[in-house]
């Protein structure tokens, strides 16, 4: 019986696609990535502390234009280093960013400006058409006067208003009732530096199976030397 001649089929490409994305130089090794995140997290944490003390985006409005310009320039340099700098750039600009926030904190106190009143809770709208809007939450109408807008686009909600909004949201109320401890969050996961990077837009370590440093090794800036028997200070 005659057989049907087979066609020459192209061989399938079974290779793993490799992204053309190139991480910033400071993420060259896992050890460098962790050291860079340490500097970035320190600056971001201090920023959050200043936001909690003075209000969302309010501190830079309490100082003179010259100091405000210096802060904005330093923020630019810090973000520029994070976006494409070497590790030494990220660490340097991270330290300077911390120094900048402390300088503004001292300057604001010197002017006699008052921190945000404890009776006022502030947050920034994270997404949507009102992204960036400052929302101040107060207990009742008597606390509205304690809100300090300082040139910011701010709206105020009282607890009674929030209660009416929650009362209309039957879905979240049902979830809270049936799942104690449930939390309403955005679809943004907390950043964990020690995790593999899966997509270009994500931040993380490209290859979690690789050695934490390359052959040359990463020189620690804190003087830690494992060969001399030093122990990690925590």
Q: Smallest Cα–Cα separation from 25: which of 224, 214, 226?
A: 214
**Residues 6 or more apart from 134 whose CB is under 8 A from it?**
55, 56, 57, 122, 123, 124, 149, 152, 153, 154, 155
Q: Return d(Cα 134, Cα 126) in angstroms, integer.
A: 10
Q: For residue 10, what pLDDT is reported?
A: 55
Tokens encoding 169: 């949201």
| Per-residue pLDDT band at 153 (split at 50, 70, 90) | confident
Region 217-230 average pLDDT: 53
Asked which of 94, 114, 134 is the last residue of a domain, the reply is 114
Q: What is the pTM of this model?
A: 0.66
CA–CA distance from 225 to each of 27, 87, 220 (Å)?
22, 19, 8
Q: Which of 15-19, 43-47, 189-193, 195-199 has the lowest mean pLDDT?
A: 15-19
Q: Which domain holds residue 133?
A: 116-183
Quote the number of domains for the chain: 2
Structure letter (DSSP) for residue 88: H
pLDDT per residue as tens digits for the range 199-215 = 666 667 766 666 666 65
Asked which of 114, 140, 167 is the last residue of a domain, the reply is 114
Could you tell me if residue 82 is inside a domain?
yes
Query: Could you tell me if 125 and 131 are in contact, meaning their C-beta atoms sit under 8 angstroms apart?
Result: yes
Region 118-138 average pLDDT: 85
Tokens encoding 159: 């607890």
Could you tell me if residue 171 is inside a domain?
yes
Evaluate if residue 195 carries a pLDDT over 70.
Answer: no
């Amino acid at each position: 019986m005659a057989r049907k001649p087979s066609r020459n089929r192209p061989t399938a490409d079974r290779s793993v696609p490799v992204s053309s994305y190139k991480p910033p130089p400071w993420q060259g090794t896992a050890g460098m990535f962790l050291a860079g995140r340490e500097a970035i997290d320190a600056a971001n944490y201090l920023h959050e502390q200043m936001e909690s003390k003075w209000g969302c985006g309010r501190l830079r409005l309490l100082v003179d234009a010259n100091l405000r310009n210096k802060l904005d320039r330093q923020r630019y340099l810090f973000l520029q280093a994070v976006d494409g700098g070497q590790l030494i750039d990220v660490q340097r600009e991270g330290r300077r960013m911390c120094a900048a926030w402390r300088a503004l904190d001292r300057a604001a106190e010197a002017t006699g400006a008052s921190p945000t009143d404890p009776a006022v809770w502030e947050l920034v709208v994270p997404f949507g058409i009102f992204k960036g809007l400052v929302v101040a939450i107060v207990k009742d109408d008597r606390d509205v006067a304690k809100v300090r807008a300082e040139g910011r686009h701010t709206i105020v909600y009282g607890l009674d208003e929030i209660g009416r909004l929650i009362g209309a949201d039957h879905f979240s109320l049902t979830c809270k009732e049936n799942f104690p401890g449930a939390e309403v969050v955005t679809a943004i996961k907390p950043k964990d530096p020690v995790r593999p990077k899966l997509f270009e837009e994500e931040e993380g370590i490209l290859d979690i199976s690789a050695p934490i440093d390359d052959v040359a090794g990463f020189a620690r800036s804190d003087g830690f030397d494992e060969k001399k028997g030093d122990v990690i200070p925590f």
